[in-house]
Chain A
Amino acid sequence: QSVLTQPPSVSAAPGQKVTISCSGSSSNIENNFVSWYQQLPGTAPKLLIYDNNKRPSGIPDRFSGSKSGTSASLGITGLQTGDEADYYCGTWDGSLSAGVFGGGTKLTVL
């Protein structure tokens, strides 16, 4: 059972938009930065979003992040078949004094 809660799967058609949620608590999301990662099959995770809503260089603006209270979300617009991957949220938990991830969300582009 992960500290952060994500839906196991989401799906949408090419060109559409999808949002992936990440729910936590005051000891993690509410008081710390949230990051998001994309993991394509058989590869290492890749940073998509940091500091709740910032994109590293090279990440297209189709990817966006937001945070409100104890929840965060990742938005992906203009879906492409290449976006099919597992997506994870992550942050620090001050009560645990540990890093924490969500359980991951599998995105299917129909």
Chain B
Amino acid sequence: EVQLVESGGGLVQPGGSLRLSCAASGFTFNNHWMSWVRQAPGKGLEWVANIKQDGGEKFYVDSVKGRFTISRDNPKKSLFLQMNSLRAEDTAVYYCARDTYYFDFSGQYRRNDAFDIWGQGTVVTVSS
């Protein structure tokens, strides 16, 4: 079964750190870009970051640049999000998601920028 399972969420004080993990199974992990998406209580989805198959490219939403770091361990089929200098506005459910891809007419790998597999989410609460 294709599956993503997040862990590592919890309650942390402002300024603190957390490391989220996402364990993948049932598919070839290193074929896919992977993303983190979050959802604050009662709010909509917010894309946070993504990482290329080999970890060689990473992108972040402006609000987390310099504070969050996305990484992956392909042999262990795991995705991570290191979150430092946490703020109250980082409180959210954090989802790990698999990016879809295709091969263009020249055979080059291209992202569809769609997320076809999602984890169940892990809750991060930043509060004193």
Which interface residue of A88, A96, A97, A98 has the most chain B CB atoms within 10 A? A98
B60 interface neighbour in A90, A98, A101, Cβ under 8 Å: A98
B112 in contact with A51 (CB, 8 Å):
yes
CB distance from B101 to the nearest CB of A (A): 11
- B9 near A: Cβ within 8 Å? no
Chain A residues, Cβ within 8 Å of B89: none
B116 in contact with A101 (CB, 8 Å):
no
B115 in contact with A35 (CB, 8 Å):
yes
- Which of B12-20, B40-48, B72-80 forms contacts with chain A? B40-48
Which interface residue of B47, B119, B121 has the most chain A CB atoms within 10 A? B47
B113 in contact with A56 (CB, 8 Å):
no
**Interface of A: prevailing SS:** strand
CB distance from A76 to the nearest CB of B (A): 18
Residues 24-42 of chain A: 1 if any B CB is under 8 Å from the residue's CB, otherwise 0? 0000000011010101000
CB distance from B23 to the nearest CB of A (A): 15
B47 in contact with A100 (CB, 8 Å):
yes
A33 in contact with B62 (CB, 8 Å):
no
Name the residue of chain B whose CB is nearest to the CB of A100. B47
- A110 near B: Cβ within 8 Å? no
CB distance from A66 to the nearest CB of B (A): 15
What separation, in Å, do the CA atoms of A88 and B45 have in the docked complex? 8
What separation, in Å, do the CA atoms of A46 and B118 have in the docked complex? 7
B120 in contact with A101 (CB, 8 Å):
no
What 14 new A-B contacts, CB under 8 Å, besides A37-B45, A44-B119, A99-B47?
A: A33-B113, A45-B37, A45-B118, A50-B100, A51-B114, A86-B44, A88-B44, A90-B47, A90-B114, A97-B59, A98-B60, A98-B62, A99-B59, A104-B45
**A/B interface sample: 18 pairs, CB < 8 A:** A33-B114, A35-B113, A44-B118, A44-B120, A45-B37, A46-B118, A47-B114, A50-B114, A51-B112, A90-B114, A96-B62, A98-B59, A98-B60, A98-B62, A99-B35, A99-B61, A101-B46, A101-B47
